């Protein structure tokens, strides 16, 4: 559909069509974890809480998309090496942004990712509006989505490894516009 799946697979990603995720009953716990700011991204960008919106708003966003795809890749690296983790996150984000650009001509699209937006050197949050709303990536956990149960539904496990990390993004796709031909 729209050619993005093949492109992502060529780039080494696993792409799985999934049910559109819902905000988990544990979402408030996830928000409390965000507030502890162990990742250092809380309140620094429009893709993380509180800038990303309330849980009710995030749930409404999820309900507005009829289709979604999970994009995953296992990166062999030292999970304690922040530079390597950043490189892996950038790789996933950049590929998902390119995929979203391929879809956008035909249908509305939104990317959720592992962490905050990180598109600009310094985010405009909270003083100004997002500079590149089409490139913004919202936080999966900020939306209150529970990855463990999402993975379980497709027969996968959430695993921690000493020598690798598996990163995930979710691509939400809206109803195809009827003013452009479907591909
Ligand atoms: S695109 Fe730039 S301004 Fe918008 S949320 Fe991302 S980092 Fe912030």
List pLDDT tens digits, range 138-175. 999 999 999 999 999 999 988 899 999 999 999 999 99
pLDDT digits (tens, 9 = 90+) for 4-41: 999 999 999 999 999 999 999 999 999 999 999 998 99
What would the two tokens of residue 144 be? 């209150």
Among 84-88, 147-151, 156-160, 179-183, the minimum mean pLDDT is found in: 179-183
**Could you tell me the pLDDT band of residue 180, with boundaries at 50, 70 and 90?**
low
Ligand 1 center from residue 10 Cα (angstroms): 28
Ligand 1 center from residue 93 Cα (angstroms): 13
Best of 43, 48, 119 for a ligand 1 pocket test (most atoms within 8 Å of beta carbon)? 119
52 lines ligand 1 (CB under 6 A): no
CA 141 to chain centre: 9
> Is 35 a domain residue?
yes
69 lines ligand 1 (CB under 6 A): no
Parent domain of 141: 4-173
Classify burial at 157, counting beta carbons within 10 Å of its beta carbon; exposed 0-12, middle 13-18, buried 19 or more: exposed
> Is 32 a domain residue?
yes
46 lines ligand 1 (CB under 6 A): yes
State how far the Cα of 183 lies from the Cα of 74, in Å rounded to an integer: 29
> Is 59 a domain residue?
yes
> Is 22 a domain residue?
yes
> Is 183 a domain residue?
no
- For the CA of 119, the closest atom of ligand 1 is 7
pTM: 0.94
**Could you tell me the pLDDT band of residue 2, with boundaries at 50, 70 and 90?**
confident
**Could you tell me the pLDDT band of residue 178, with boundaries at 50, 70 and 90?**
confident
DSSP code, position 151: H
Best of 41, 132, 133, 137 for a ligand 1 pocket test (most atoms within 8 Å of beta carbon)? 132
Nearest to 18 by CA among 146, 110, 154: 154
> Is 113 a domain residue?
yes
Q: How many domains does the chain have?
A: 1
> Is 179 a domain residue?
no
Beta bridge partners of 172: 68, 110
- For the CA of 123, the closest atom of ligand 1 is 8
48 lines ligand 1 (CB under 6 A): no
Best of 49, 94, 117 for a ligand 1 pocket test (most atoms within 8 Å of beta carbon)? 117
Q: What is the pLDDT of residue 183?
A: 45
């Amino acid at each position: 559909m729209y050619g993005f799946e093949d492109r992502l697979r060529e780039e080494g990603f696993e792409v799985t069509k999934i049910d559109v995720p819902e905000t988990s009953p544990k979402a408030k716990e996830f928000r409390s974890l965000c507030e502890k700011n162990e990742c250092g991204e809380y309140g620094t960008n429009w893709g993380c809480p509180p800038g990303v919106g309330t849980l009710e708003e995030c749930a409404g966003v999820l309900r507005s998309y009829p289709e979604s795809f999970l994009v995953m890749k296992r990166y062999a690296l030292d999970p304690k090496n922040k530079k390597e983790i950043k490189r892996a996150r950038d790789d996933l984000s950049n590929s998902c942004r390119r995929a979203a650009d391929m879809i956008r001509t035909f249908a509305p699209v939104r990317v959720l990712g592992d962490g905050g937006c990180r598109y600009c050197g310094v985010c405009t949050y909270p003083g100004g509006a997002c500079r590149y709303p089409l490139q913004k990536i919202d936080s999966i956990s900020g939306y209150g989505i529970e990855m463990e149960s999402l993975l379980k539904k497709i027969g996968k496990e959430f695993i921690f490894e000493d020598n690798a990390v598996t990163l995930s993004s979710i691509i939400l796709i809206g109803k195809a516009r009827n003013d452009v031909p479907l591909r």
